[in-house]
Amino acid sequence: MLKYSIKRLLQSLVTLFIIITIVFLLMRLMPEEGYFGDEFDKLDVAQREAILASMGLRDPIHIQLGNFYKDLFSGDLGTSIIYRPKVPITEIIADKLPYSLYFGLVAMGISLLAGIPLGALMARSKNKLWDKLGTGYIVFINAVPAAVYFLFLQLYVTDIFKLPILFRPDKPVSWILPAISMALGSTAHYAMWMRRYMVDEINKDYVRLARAKGLRNQTIMLKHVFRNAFVPMAQYLPTSLLFTIAGSIYIESLYSIPGMGGLLVDVIQRQDNSLVQALVLIFSSIGIFGLFLGDILMAIFDPRINLQKKEGAR
């Protein structure tokens, strides 16, 4: 187990290294005005060259890469250029991340707590009322563009329950709706997969044997079916974690939450090169970490995943 984890971790680090290097190299191909902000037009060519040289961007590429990694390991992601000029990127992220993280985690919690029991309930009452209601909900969420029901919630639910329309950090009630809105989609997602895996498991022979053994249906569901169906669900958890950190563009702009949502799109449009680079780096590390975590979780839950075999084992 430990050996497998370490091996998987090393693989992840290699992947991360490759991604970071590629992103860094790609960023060098971006138009250079991204390093100047508003001052670009005011500067002549010699001044621009001087600034670029002072930023180390005229050094040979391998030196630049080396410097970049050196800064990275000391926790320095550089400073923003256009988005919030001269502010360290770590500071910008530290400002915004808590909001996204908070809403993301709460939404994830809600959707896990609601979606997985819902899926289990649907599987147990397959083709009966609960299953049909649940399916209706899942189809609705998947078929109707999120914008529609997000807006609907904001418009009417705030009215009915007298909730504030916009987010205010000092008013906890204003935190409710965004979190719930964010949870709607992933609840449907979890419910759908949980139902599917449960139905898969219920039809397996070992469930029949467990019944023949004289186990109560409830015990079978809980100790055999639910547990086994949850194993493939484990692989979704880390990815969901990633989404919580990336933030929801739509919800955050709808309720004007100062989170991470849309930050990446924003800084790409405004060509804030160093910030783009830092964000891609952060997101991809979290993504890779998520996959790593997913694999480890699967290995913990499923004894069939052979950790000793050298080839093809994963």
Partner 1 sequence: MASPKIKLSIRDLVIKFKLRGQVLTAIREASLDIYEGESLAIVGESGSGKSVFTKSFMGLLDGNGWIDSGSITYEGEDIARFKTEKEWLKIRGKKIAMVFQDPMTSLNPLKTVGKQVQEAVELHQGLKKEEAKRLTIEILDDVGIPDSESRYKQFPHEFSGGMRQRVVIAIAIACNPHLLICDEPTTALDVTIQAQILNLLKNLKEKYSLTTIYITHDLGVVANVADRIAVMYAGDIVEIGNSEEVFYNAQHPYTWALLSSLPQLGVKGEPLHSIKGTPPNLFYEVKGDAFAPRNPKALKIDFVEKPPYFEVSPTHKAKTWILDPRAPKVDPPASIKILRDQWGGRKNA
88 has which bridge partners?
A: 79
**Shortest Å, Cβ 6 to partner 1:** 23
Go through 34-68 and write b for each residue having 16 or more CB atoms within 10 A of its CB, e for each that does not: bbbbeeeeeeeeeebeebeeeeeeeeeeeebbeeb
**Amino acid identity for residue 80 in this structure:** S
Tell me, what DSSP letter sits at residue 305? S
- Of 212, 310, 311, 312, which lies in the binding site for partner 1, with binding defined by CB under 8 A? 212
Measured in degrees and rounded to the nearest 5, phi and psi for residue 304 equal -75, -20
Q: Select from 236, 306, 234 the least CA-distant residue to 1.
A: 306
Rule CB under 8 A: is residue 216 a binding residue for partner 1?
yes
Rule CB under 8 A: is residue 227 a binding residue for partner 1?
yes
**Shortest Å, Cβ 225 to partner 1:** 9
Query: How many Å from the N-terminal Cα to the C-terminal Cα in the chain?
Result: 12
Rule CB under 8 A: is residue 132 a binding residue for partner 1?
no
- Report the C-alpha gap between 163 and 174 in whole angstroms: 6
- Of 42, 62, 86, 213, which lies in the binding site for partner 1, with binding defined by CB under 8 A? 213
Instruction: Please give the size of the binding site for partner 1, defined by CB under 8 A.
Output: 21
- Of 57, 157, 215, 237, which lies in the binding site for partner 1, with binding defined by CB under 8 A? 215
Tell me, what DSSP letter sits at residue 43? S
**Shortest Å, Cβ 80 to partner 1:** 49
Residue with smaller CB distance to partner 1, 289 or 301: 301
Distances, alpha carbon 143 to alpha carbons 16, 148, 228, 304, in Å? 35, 11, 29, 37
Where residue 214 falls (left for φ over 0; alpha for ψ -120 to 50; beta otherwise) is: left
Rule CB under 8 A: is residue 124 a binding residue for partner 1?
no
**Shortest Å, Cβ 291 to partner 1:** 22
82-90, 92-100, 181-189, 296-304 -> range binding partner 1 (CB under 8 A): 296-304
26-34, 143-151, 156-164, 225-233 -> range binding partner 1 (CB under 8 A): 225-233
Residue with smaller CB distance to partner 1, 171 or 208: 208
- Of 231, 237, 268, 307, which lies in the binding site for partner 1, with binding defined by CB under 8 A? 231
- Report the C-alpha gap between 95 and 42 in whole angstroms: 31
**Shortest Å, Cβ 174 to partner 1:** 44
The answer to whether the beta carbons of residues 64 and 56 sit under 8 Å apart is: yes
| Number of alpha helices (DSSP H) and beta strands (DSSP E) in the chain | 15, 0
Residue with smaller CB distance to partner 1, 58 or 204: 204
Rule CB under 8 A: is residue 298 a binding residue for partner 1?
no
Rule CB under 8 A: is residue 210 a binding residue for partner 1?
yes
Residue with smaller CB distance to partner 1, 10 or 209: 209
Q: Of how many residues is the chain composed?
A: 314
* Residue ranges in contact with partner 1 by CB under 8 A: 204-206, 208-217, 224, 227-228, 231, 301-304
